[in-house]
């Protein structure tokens, strides 16, 4: 169902830039509080019907898909089992499936989009232009899909406790020793955002944070006009498990930072969490921007509130490894001349300790080179992990199947 303009009865769409519902036909604009659809009370109990009911047995071809009727043109709108707002492909008008909001728990709050579609695309373009290792073709890539989607979240309060064992090393070479540390404590967690949709990876949505929770508004379905949205589809068990994992990650980071050793790692833990009954159900905004590169679809996420861009960009591996090898050769040459010409002068007059000093300097230089290459390897691992998230097929399918 669309919210209509009071002046001309055309569908209104929410504009993130002005924070108002606007009519493209007559130019009128209204705040969300100023409009209320007269037909809402008659359509809020209208349910979407399964495709098997409408078209007969489909042998599971469409999985969890349903048919809803556009309130403006009567066209059929195909939605999945958790969509609550979409766009009609025939007339282009926004439609909110009120029965999805009314019959499943209605959201308590919504954080309206403040980043426009044009701004989101511009931010993606800027990100793609950065970096010497970004292929030139990527910088001119064609954007295939852009979707603004409200994602469901639970904001939870909890009491978390854990006891961990951290293993780390001190010293180097023959003088390296392994140490073990114990850390235990409690955390009081407030308004921890938990992704309430199974259709997008928790790791991707976690990277969208933070959101401006102080800007949350009491839920009004009119903020959904012109955007897509999903209702929560997770169980309480899913919610508790996600909250436990998020809290455990925070606690372990603090425990590791408190142990001043090299290569620290948590080898054992005993976490527990108790969720408060006071939980807030909110819809938070995200832009999904997708492009195809080398036969793989890449989906970049943008926080629709802050503009934070979450992605891993394909990189020029040949250029990277060429520079890495070149840097290694350069450092080797510098080290050779340093040992050949500088060390004899530096060690002159210290014959009794020259052998020891020479060994220490060699060890220091080797350690520096190893550290440099280790940083490069960690960077590569991080980049590859980010690219895998950007190439995630489930995220692309979640965004692509939106009509419009």
- Express each pLDDT in 194-242 by its tens digit: 999 888 888 888 899 999 999 999 988 888 888 888 888 889 999 999 9
Lowest mean pLDDT among 132-146, 277-291, 317-331, 340-354: 340-354
The radius of gyration of the chain from alpha carbons, rounded to an integer in Å, stands at: 28
> Which residues make beta-bridge pairs with 152?
283
Please, which pLDDT band fits residue 318 given cuts at 50, 70 and 90?
low
Instruction: Give the mean pLDDT of the chain.
Output: 78
Decide if pLDDT at 315 tops 90: no
Residue 163 has pLDDT above 90, yes or no: yes
Taking 90 as the threshold, does the pLDDT of residue 293 lie above it? no
Q: Is the pLDDT of residue 158 over 90?
A: yes
**pLDDT, tens digit, 9 for 90 and up, residues 41-60:** 544 554 544 434 443 444 44
Q: Going by C-beta distance under 8 Å and a sequence separation of 6 or more, which residues neighbour residue 117? A: 146, 148, 287
Q: Where are the alpha helices (DSSP H) in 207-316?
A: 236-257
Q: Would you place residue 179 in the very low, low, confident or very high pLDDT band (cuts 50, 70, 90)? A: very high
How distant, in Å, are the alpha carbons of 131, 155, 368 from that of 381? 17, 31, 20
Please report, for residues 82, 113, 294, 298, 387, the alpha-carbon distance to residue 150 in angstroms, rounded to integers and kept in the order given: 12, 9, 30, 20, 23
> pLDDT band at residue 404, thresholds of 50, 70 and 90?
low
Query: β-pairing, 228-230 with 143-170?
Result: parallel
Residue 24 has pLDDT above 80, yes or no: yes
Record the pTM. 0.75
* pLDDT for position 56: 45
**Is pLDDT above 80 for 401?**
no
**Token output for 115:** 């980043």
Residue of 164 and 82 predicted with greater confidence: 164
- Selected residue with higher pLDDT from 6 and 315: 6
Tokens for 306, please give them: 């802050």
3-state DSSP percent of the chain in helix, strand and coil, to 5: 35, 30, 35
* Listed residue (232, 240, 332) closest to 282, CA to CA: 232
- Two tokens at 265? 């790692």
Confidence (pLDDT) at 54 = 40
pLDDT of 268 higher than 80:
yes
Q: What is the pLDDT of residue 109?
A: 93
**Token pair 């948590």: residue:** 266
pLDDT for the residue 58: 40
Q: Considering only 138-147, 203-212, 360-369, which range has the smallest mean pLDDT?
A: 360-369
| pLDDT at 168 exceeding the cut of 80 | yes
Every domain of the chain and the residues it spans: 12-104, 117-315+390-400
């Amino acid at each position: 169902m669309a919210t209509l303009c009071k002046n001309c009865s055309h569908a209104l769409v929410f504009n993130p830039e002005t924070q108002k519902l606007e009519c493209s036909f007559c130019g009128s604009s209204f705040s969300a509080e100023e409009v209320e659809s007269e037909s809402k009370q008659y359509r809020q109990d209208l349910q979407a019907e399964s495709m098997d009911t409408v078209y007969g047995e489909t042998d599971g071809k469409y999985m969890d898909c349903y048919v809803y009727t556009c309130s403006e043109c009567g066209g059929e709108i195909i939605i999945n089992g958790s969509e609550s707002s979409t766009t009609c492909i025939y007339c282009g008008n926004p439609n909110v499936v009120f029965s999805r909001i009314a019959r499943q728990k209605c959201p308590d709050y919504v954080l309206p989009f403040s980043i426009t579609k044009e701004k989101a695309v511009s931010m993606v373009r800027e990100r793609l232009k950065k970096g010497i290792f970004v292929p030139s073709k990527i910088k001119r890539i064609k954007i295939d899909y852009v979707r603004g989607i409200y994602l469901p979240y639970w904001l939870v309060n909890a009491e978390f406790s854990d006891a961990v064992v951290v293993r780390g090393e001190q010293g180097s070479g023959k003088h390296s020793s392994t140490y073990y540390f114990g850390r235990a404590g409690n955390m009081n967690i407030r308004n921890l955002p938990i992704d309430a949709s199974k259709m997008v990876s928790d790791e991707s949505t976690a990277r969208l944070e933070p959101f401006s929770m102080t800007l949350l508004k009491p839920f009004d379905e009119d903020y959904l006009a012109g955007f897509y949205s999903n209702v929560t589809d997770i169980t309480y068990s899913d919610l508790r498990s996600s909250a436990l994992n998020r809290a455990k990650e925070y606690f372990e980071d603090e425990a590791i930072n408190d142990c001043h050793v090299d290569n620290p790692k948590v080898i054992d833990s005993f976490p527990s969490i108790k969720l408060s009954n006071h939980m807030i159900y909110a819809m938070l905004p995200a832009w999904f921007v997708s492009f195809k590169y080398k036969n793989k679809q890449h989906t970049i996420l943008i926080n629709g509130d802050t503009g934070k861009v979450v992605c891993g960009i394909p990189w020029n591996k040949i250029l990277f490894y060429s520079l890495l090898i070149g840097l290694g050769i350069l450092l080797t040459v510098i080290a050779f001349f340093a040992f050949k010409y500088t060390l004899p002068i530096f060690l002159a007059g210290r014959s009794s300790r020259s052998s020891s000093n020479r060994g220490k300097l060699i060890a220091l230089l080797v350690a520096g080179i190893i550290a440099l290459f280790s940083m490069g390897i960690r960077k590569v691992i991080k980049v590859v992990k980010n690219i895998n998230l950007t190439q995630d097929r489930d995220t692309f399918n979640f965004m692509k199947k939106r009509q419009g």
